[in-house]
Chain A
């Protein structure tokens, strides 16, 4: 869990979302639809972005789970987080953890993503405040080679 070996007792029917929030006290991943449509609960499972409401907690024994709480380095924001702040890629912030984790999943899988890759990565993350354009701007800023050079 975010790079540390941790244990929690998990009820057989509990989702990874419930496990992360209630078992480990990490509330960055949000319950918003709980049927895999909105993306607010997105976390990384073995480096891959998943809707944690669709994964059972018990399936994750011995596997690597990363949540938004693990993105920063002792308070130093990751480039993605920093770009979200700079571009104002959020309003209410409720979907933000999920947006960040979907993009973090892309970053780990694809070191040089295209704009299409970025759009595809967050297509499954709804934002009712409608911050999408700033989210895409922030992702471009943080993830593409063009902006890094």
Chain B
């Protein structure tokens, strides 16, 4: 059954959906029994360790594996010579380089040592002797236009992508006020606690791959294509995964290397990244430089937006790397004249890939910093300014937003929960300044990434099996999809088993990315569940020899309006119906084209700035994400906490540091790449909206993962400005930057005083 053929999910009969049902896999997770890819241990399993390039840009002169092969316990050392037929990345570069090939960043894969244990493999990997002929590297893309800049793969011709509408220059000419600036956002690293990696096990001409991924079907399709085999020959399993945040939305080399190593050695092989590899070669949020101008009239109405964006995408092109930095400029506010020019620049650093709210996070920080500037300049309340520029429709495609007023409701709720109208003490002490800031955001996905498919069948005891091949990243997919099926069928969740995380347990589901799993798969499982009930009634009518229209199902028995027919308890009925397998299929195939499904929201942040240490402490964040219908408030709250916490990290501490002279990342670890800890969080308030958006999809849920992150860095930066009057154009707002900015201001104040005296 197609989801599009069904009525909207309405409040009638909804019992599980919307309830704070406990996460169905929580017990496995608190008892240590949830099994992740690195926990898989198969008989005879070997371990592969990747040898990585020590140079940012070089031609391989030699690879000597003799010493490594001589180590007791080493089974094989795989180099490019063993994998000549395989290519990788969108650039179709060799999977492993041969002598004469080029390595393009420190951490680029060179060889794999396969051994009986991990410690042997690590020891031997250090003995692989690679000779390099160095080429000049480029890691600082600010120098990409220099005459003597080296030409890199994919940088041969640098294209500028232009998007927009209207005539920006004319519009600026009539603007009363223009705010502008050059902003820089850092390279941030996903650093999911579980590294990328896989256990691959070839048996005959079929391979099982246990891998930590956000897209088991995508991995299957990609591996099958690279290997030249059928989908049926590749089974991909990800029962539990330890976080992805976008970095695992595409297949990565360790998975492919495990597959090839298993084939080569005839044994199961595990290849997992270590933390250094995670930071060098497993994806990152692309750094951006954004030069932006906004023109507005005195009444606050925005009349022109012009943005020039450079993003640093690393050495190779990864699918899903094209983060939509331009999105917010094009969509968040009503504006007839917009121009966005984007360049994606290659470098000799690890490849970039989508990271929670890709692109949108980076430009929301900039756009919302400038909107704050505009509010200050025009003396208009920041929330009021945003209300005055409400768009309500997709101006690029000229269609309405699926819920045009959702973002206005968010402004209202955030203002209410944060006490925006109340007075606010900005100087609690000599040393501390307090401030609060506001920011809004757009998000493009919101609806679905079809197609998504599911099956539902009745077991012969009447219990229910739901088959799909989505994956649960820790977001709670297993739980909320179970709730949707329970409501659709009227069956208790205790009698439903939902299989996911395995390409062999159900039809294809899309990659979990962009907060789209729920909006895609909730309609699909609901359609499958209702189709199974239809099939049950068809089968029962045939079996009981009554008119189909006299039958109905209440979740535990089939009832008939025929006078002398008893209720048929489900368990007995299903047993009687054997050999017929009562089942249904469902799918979500299309997104609506007459509306633009958006998921938007806003946040308020409160901070304290210590004038002596430069420390910014976030004391409270209120977020109001319009995620549509809230399927499970408990899990939605967890997504809110996670998004806000990552937002605090992006605003204040997280950045990859590169020594451009050496062409090396200086903090490829968790010691100096600073993730937020328990002590860096704050009071987090979820100003829940719960507005079913039935124009977006039949279930009315739009996904929540990205939303609570998107407005947070901008809201924090605006709060810092409110506290100390300094607008930071570069993230993160570190103590050093705060102290430098404070002392620069003190110096210029002193100079002014001297000049005027």
CB of A93 within 8 A of CB of B474, answer yes
Assembled-state Cα–Cα distance A132/B637 (Å): 12
Give min CB distance, A124 to chain B, whole Å: 8
Question: Bound complex: CA of A48 vs CA of B97, how far in Å?
Answer: 47
Q: A77-B27, A123-B678 are in contact. Are A85 and B22 (CB under 8 A)?
A: yes
| Interface hits, A50-101 → B, CB 8 Å | 67-69, 71-72, 77, 81, 84-86, 88, 90-97, 100
Chain B residues, Cβ within 8 Å of A25: 41
Residues of B630-658 at the interface with A, using a CB-CB cut-off of 8 Å, are 634-635, 637-639, 641-646
Quick one: CB contact mask for B227-254 with A, threshold 8 Å, 1 for yes?
Answer: 0000000000000111101000000000
Q: Find A123's partner among B30, B474, B677 (CB 8 Å cutoff).
A: B677
A38, closest chain B residue (CB): B670
A26 at interface by CB-CB < 8 Å: yes
Verify if A31 is at the interface (C-beta below 8 Å from B). Answer: yes
Residue of B nearest to A68 (CB): B32
> Which residue on chain A has the smallest CB distance to residue B190?
A128
Decide yes or no whether B679 CB sits under 8 A from chain A.
Answer: yes
The residue that A91 contacts in the complex, of B119, B474, B675, B677, with Cβ under 8 A, is: B474
Please give the distance in Å from B191's CB to the nearest CB on chain A.
Answer: 6
Contacts of B173 in A (CB 8 A): none
Is residue B357 contacting chain A, with contact meaning CB distance below 8 A? no
Give chain B residues whose Cβ lies under 8 Å from the Cβ of A28.
31-33
Instruction: Digitize B190-204: 1 where CB-to-A-CB distance is under 8 Å, 0 elsewhere.
Output: 111111000000000
| A130 and B641 contact, CB distance less than 8 A | yes
Cβ B29 vs Cβ A93 within 8 A: yes
Of B39, B644, B678, the residue contacting A136 (CB under 8 A) is B678
Q: Contacts A40-B193, A129-B642, A133-B681 hold; do A32 and B275 have CB atoms under 8 A apart?
A: yes
Residue of A77, A126, A135, A136 ringed by the most chain B CB atoms within 10 A: A126
Cβ contact within 8 Å between B242 and A88? no
CA distance A1 to B5 in the complex (A): 57
Please determine whether A91 and B638 come into contact, CB atoms closer than 8 angstroms: yes
B605, chain A: closest CB distance, angstroms: 15
For B241, the chain A residues whose CB sits under 8 A away are: 92
Complex-state Cα separation, A30 to B193, whole angstroms: 9
Minimum CB–CB distance from A34 to chain B (whole Å) comes to 7
Q: Nearest Cβ distance between residue B485 and chain A, in whole angstroms?
A: 21
Chain B residues positioned under 8 Å from A3 (CB to CB): none
- B190, B193, B634 — which one has the most chain A CB atoms within 10 A of its CB? B193
Evaluate contact between B677 and A126: CB separation under 8 angstroms. Answer: yes
A8 interfacial by beta-carbon distance below 8 Å: no
- Give every chain A residue within 8 A of B245 (Cβ-Cβ): 128
Query: Contact between A92 and B678 (Cβ–Cβ < 8 Å)?
Result: no
Which residue of A11, A32, A77 contacts B193 across the interface (Cβ within 8 Å)?
A32
Q: Assuming the A-B contacts A31-B38, A131-B641, A131-B642, are A94 and B193 also in contact, with contact meaning beta carbons closer than 8 angstroms in the complex?
A: yes
**Contact between chains at B30 and A85 (CB < 8 Å):** yes
For the complex, is B23 an interface residue (Cβ under 8 Å from A)?
yes
Q: Does B473 contact A (CB under 8 A)?
A: yes
Q: Are A37 and B33 in contact (CB under 8 A)?
A: no
Verify if B158 is at the interface (C-beta below 8 Å from A).
no
- B429 sits at the interface (CB 8 A): no
B34 at the interface (CB under 8 A from A): yes
Kindly report which residue of chain A lies nearest to residue B632, judged by CB atoms. Answer: A88
Interface pair A33/B275, CB less than 8 Å apart:
yes
Residues in chain B near residue A33, CB distance under 8 A: 275, 669-670
In this complex, how many residues of chain B approach chain A with their Cβ under 8 Å: the count is: 59
A128 near B32: Cβ-Cβ < 8 Å: no
Query: In the bound complex, what is the Cα–Cα distance between A58 and B746 (angstroms)?
Result: 58
For residue A143, CB closer than 8 A to chain B, the reply is no
Pick the contact of A27 from B32, B473, B645 — CB < 8 Å? B32
Chain B residues whose C-beta falls within 8 Å of the C-beta of A38 in the assembled complex = 193, 275, 670
CB–CB A84/B644 < 8 A: no
B35 at the interface (CB under 8 A from A): yes
CB within 8 Å for A130 and B242 given contacts A26-B32, A34-B275, A94-B36 = no
Evaluate contact between A35 and B671: CB separation under 8 angstroms.
Answer: yes
B642 contacts across to A, CB distance below 8 A:
91, 129-131
Does B461 count as interface, using CB distance less than 8 angstroms?
no
Q: Which residues of A contact B402 (CB under 8 A)?
A: none
Instruction: Kindly list chain A residues whose C-beta atoms are within 8 Å of the C-beta of B645.
Output: 130, 132-133
State whether A128 touches B30 (Cβ < 8 A). Answer: no
B671-715 interface (Cβ within 8 A of A): 671, 675-679, 681, 684
Is B162 on the interface with A (CB-CB < 8 A)?
no
Question: A residues within 8 A CB of B36?
Answer: 27, 30, 94
Known: A32-B194, A34-B275, A128-B245. A133 touches B31 (CB 8 A): no
A13 on interface, CB distance cutoff 8 Å: yes
B 282-298 contacts with A by CB, 8 A: none
Q: Are A84 and B275 in contact (CB under 8 A)?
A: no
Cβ B681 vs Cβ A130 within 8 A? yes
Looking at the assembled complex, report how far the CB atom of B347 sits from the nearest CB atom of chain A, in whole angstroms. 25
B274 within 8 A of A: yes
Evaluate whether A94 and B22 lie within 8 angstroms (CB atoms) in the complex, with A68-B31, A130-B641, A130-B676 already known.
no
**Is the CB–CB distance between B119 and A18 below 8 Å?**
yes
What's the Cα separation between A136 and B645 when bound, in Å?
14
CB closest residue in chain A, given B681: A132
Interface check A44, CB cutoff 8 A: no
Asked whether A119 is an interface residue with its Cβ less than 8 Å from the other chain, the reply is yes
Which of chain B's residues have a CB closer than 8 A to the CB of A91? 243, 474-476, 638-639, 642
Residue in chain A with minimal CB distance to B683: A133
B275 partner residues in chain A, CB cutoff 8 A: 32-35, 38
Contact A134 B32 (CB under 8 A): no
A16 within 8 A of B: no
> What are the residues of chain B within 8 A of A84 when measuring CB–CB?
26, 30
| Residues 1-37 (chain A) with a chain B CB within 8 angstroms | 11, 13-14, 18, 21-22, 25-35, 37
Closest to A92 in B: B474
Bound complex: CA A131 to CA B274 (Å): 23
Contacts of A11 in B (CB 8 A): 117, 119
- Beyond A119-B679, A123-B679, A131-B638, whether A67 also contacts B643 by CB under 8 A is no
Query: Bound complex: CA of A69 vs CA of B389, how far in Å?
Result: 55
A selection of 25 A-B contacts at a CB cut-off of 8 Å is A18-B118, A27-B32, A27-B39, A28-B31, A30-B36, A31-B272, A33-B669, A35-B671, A37-B671, A38-B275, A38-B670, A68-B30, A72-B31, A77-B27, A90-B23, A90-B30, A92-B242, A92-B474, A95-B193, A119-B679, A126-B670, A130-B645, A133-B641, A134-B637, A136-B678
Task: Add 18 more A-B contacts to A18-B118, A94-B242, A126-B670 (CB < 8 A).
Answer: A11-B119, A13-B119, A25-B41, A30-B36, A30-B38, A33-B669, A84-B26, A90-B29, A92-B243, A92-B473, A95-B193, A95-B242, A96-B29, A122-B678, A125-B678, A130-B642, A130-B676, A132-B641
Residues on B lying within 8 angstroms of A by beta carbon are 22-23, 25-36, 38-39, 41, 117-119, 190-195, 240-243, 245, 272, 274-275, 473-476, 634-635, 637-639, 641-646, 669-671, 675-679, 681, 684
- The 10 tightest CB contacts between A and B, nearest first, are A28-B32, A92-B474, A130-B645, A94-B242, A93-B29, A130-B642, A68-B32, A27-B39, A91-B474, A81-B30
Chain A residues in the interface with B (C-beta under 8 A): 11, 13-14, 18, 21-22, 25-35, 37-38, 40, 67-69, 71-72, 77, 81, 84-86, 88, 90-97, 100, 119, 122-136
